[in-house]
Amino acid sequence: MFPNSSRPGVGMKPRRESQRPLLPQHARHCPVLEAGSALGFLVYPALEPTESFHIEYQGEGRYQFLYFLNVGGKWEPIFTVNIILPIGSIGMIKEEVVFATKKAPFSRDVAIGVMRALIVPEDLGTPPGAIALRAATNFKTPAGWDTVYTPIFNMIERPVAPMLVVRVETDWYPHETEFRYVLQPGEGIPGAHNMPIGQVFFVPRDEITMTDCTREDLEAIGQAREEFFREKAAQKIMTPYGLQYSPHYLRQSRSQQKT
């Protein structure tokens, strides 16, 4: 791992998390769903605990970036950057900085630098409505391994912003982690110290060969299926709320990992 080039040492480290707080309670007893959520690592923005931001797509090539500080337990706006893309996507990007108070706490250049540590203005609007969130942590992989950048798995509460999934050959390309969401006019995405902005996992570049199962393979699969459902039916647990579930898959998975 290597840090955000503009704010090294700022932001939470990547981590695994198998649960999503807004999923139904019965999802806690679905081991395959939790394993899917835990694939790879959650990645966070380069923010201190006292910082937050909000980026909004206003339509017609216009974006608004707001930066906040927690002062005495209250979130206060510090500055706003209005970003206007050139007509036809060719030309200079216009960045207008507006401070919340007449006595600015720092210069315009510092405000632009903070914004650029959190988003990538050059990638806005590709495609229309796209925003690029920059992370606190970047990754270098061993030879033959790539990094895949995705939205946060199983975050299904609406509205859900679609994201362009990207796969980068990070064994040779020093890519800085970005997550590119696509918004509709009027939609925005917040950023906070403890709020992940995306998820990464790592895959080899080896080619995959697919072949059909033999008759013996199919018979073995059928026997394994029957045995699994027989053991699953024999192991039932009732929750205090009356939900029945079987821990057989989870127990079998843990025993396989030990071997």
Q: How far apart are CA 153 and CA 16, in angstroms?
A: 12
**Three-state DSSP state, 13:** coil
**Three-state DSSP state, 202:** strand
Neighbour tally for 139: CB within 10 Å:
22
Maximal C-alpha separation, the chain = 78
Q: Quick one: CA dihedral 149, 45, 17, 163, positive or negative?
A: negative
Q: How far apart are CA 83 and CA 94, in angstroms?
A: 6
55, 119 contact by CB (below 8 A): yes
pTM over 0.85, yes/no: yes
118, 174 contact by CB (below 8 A): no
Strand intervals (E) in the chain: 2-3, 41-43, 51-59, 62-71, 74-84, 94-99, 130-134, 137-138, 145-150, 163-164, 166-168, 178-182, 188-192, 198-204, 237-238, 244-245
Q: How far apart are CA 80 and CA 67, in angstroms?
A: 6
3-state helix, strand, coil in the chain (%, to 5): 25, 30, 45
User: Which H or E element spans position 169?
Assistant: none
Pull the structure tokens for residue 251.
């127990």
| Tens-level pLDDT at each residue, the chain (259 residues) | 999 999 999 999 999 998 888 787 777 778 888 889 999 999 999 999 999 999 999 999 999 999 999 988 899 999 999 999 987 767 788 999 999 987 778 889 999 999 999 999 999 988 999 999 999 999 999 999 999 999 999 988 888 899 999 999 999 999 999 999 999 999 999 999 999 999 999 999 999 999 999 999 999 999 999 998 888 888 888 877 777 888 888 888 887 777 6
For tokens 């006292």, the residue is 50
Sheet of strand 178-182: strand arrangement: 130-134, 178-182, 163-164
